[in-house]
A and B are shown apart, each in its own frame.
Chain A
Amino acid sequence: MAVIGVLALQGDYEAHAAALERAGAGPREVRRAADLDGLDGLVIPGGESTSMLRLMEYYGLMPALRAFGASRPVFGTCAGAILLAAEVLNPPQPSLALMDMTVERNAYGRQLDSRVARIAGHELGGGEMEAVFIRAPIIRRAGDGCRVLATYQGNPVLVESDLHLAATFHPELAPDDRIHRRFLDKVRLVQEEARR
């Protein structure tokens, strides 16, 4: 069974741990660089990206997370997607820059613009996908290394690179675990390659 870390600095990390368990992985909370040892992949949850950034700075986590992401899969939702992006807007802020994309924070507006959407056309297979957007960001640019797996109102909302996966919404708050399974598939591929 794949052991997947969930960055537990702030945010809905417990919801991610529960979703990972449903999808058949063993979640483990990560608060320090040493907690990354032995993990097959990492989830960066939803929450406030500024809070997470501050805590990453307090505990010197940025270099450790970048090094982890250089060879192992990372899945970010909402704030997690913001932290994965190469470039962040509104306002500009530091990030892990593990995916070649530009993300604009709070791009739909404030909480009153949060919503649950149903997305029919996507690359995951199966029927409609439920997307919970909470003060969500918008991916303004997905670079050459990124594949768009789902869009909403013309903007990419689920994007993957060879290693990583980013959603601007919260699959961890929906009963559907297809996206977490997609991430675990990526983890399995990396494990198999390492074995070869």
Chain B
Amino acid sequence: MIYLDDAFRVKVGLAEMLKGGVIMDVTDARQAEIAEKAGACAVMALERVPADIRKEGGVARMAAISKIREIMKTVSIPVMAKVRIGHFAEAQVLEALEVDYIDESEVLTPADEEHHIWKRDFKVPFVCGCRNLGEALRRIAEGAAMIRTKGEAGTGNVVEAVRHMRTVMKEIRTLAVMRQDELLAEAKRLQAPLELVQFVHDNGRLPVPNFSAGGIATPADAALMRQLGAEAVFVGSGIFKSSDPERRARAIVKAATNYNDPKAVLEASEELGEAMPGLDVRTMSESEMLSTRGW
């Protein structure tokens, strides 16, 4: 089985090391340095943060190689970078560059509206987004070694992250108590391979770590997602679109670690300035939603 071989264990191993931490979106070496100094466990290199992609529109692609290289040279923590859904050639380029993780991300403009990358062909590990258990298991079947439940990136609104984390966790709990003879029908409903459905049923968890991404803007948002089951959090626009990136980065790192300690989250929330401006997801049209990308 894929999740038992050495190559896959090494990919999942790095995701294990990132647990409890905060992975921060950065667009240049200076931001990467701020993130590392604040205690980020990894950085995600991208051309524009989701809030700007949303505002400026156009086609969002993999970041410029010179930028990613500069970030890799500057920090000692793992460097991830995003590719467009299905764009395996962008992924081949990032693997040749030796980034530590690739995010096949709905935040960039999809390059294939039917297929995701066959990630098992790569030595570099991948993280993918999901809105439900079926989507998570399809990505794992393709070779993703880390899952992040999708929020609505670039909105500063945590509602979609909550919706999708609750969905995934509820579906896992439901599966765990099913009878063996119900699993094939459930696999059909989830549109996921039986082998992975069986694993979740037997273990009560995904075969890879499950993080949360999209819409996290405050220390309390990070604590909320951790308590709902996220093993770590990605913060995109939330840090560098706020009025005080350094302090906010530090505060979110503290809250992710102490998510079960309200006094510590209070302490982390004090002295913070303005969070990033938020968007009401309900007023957005379907075409503006990023989290619905992915098949």
Identify the A interface with B (CB < 8 A).
Answer: 8-15, 31, 46-48, 50-51, 54-55, 58, 78-79, 90-91, 105-106, 109-112, 114-116, 132, 134-135, 170, 173
Contact = CB atoms under 8 A, between A and B. Distances in A.
22 contacts: A10-B19, A10-B21, A11-B17, A11-B20, A11-B21, A14-B19, A31-B261, A50-B77, A51-B253, A54-B37, A54-B38, A55-B39, A58-B254, A110-B99, A111-B101, A111-B124, A112-B95, A114-B13, A116-B9, A116-B10, A170-B16, A173-B13
B257 A173 contact: no
Contact of A54 (B13, B17, B39, B101): B39
B162 interface: no
A47 B19 contact: yes
Chain A CB within 10 A, most for which of B9, B77, B100, B261: B9
Contacts of B40: 51
B123 interface: yes
B10 A51 contact: no
B92 interface: no
A112 B9 CA distance: 13
Nearest 6 A-B pairs (CB), nearest first? A54-B39, A111-B100, A116-B6, A12-B16, A134-B13, A48-B41
Given A10-B41, A48-B42, A55-B39, A78 B17 contact: yes
A132 B9 contact: yes
Interface in B14-37: 14, 16-21, 36-37
A134 B41 CA distance: 14
A170 B9 CA distance: 12
A173 B78 contact: no
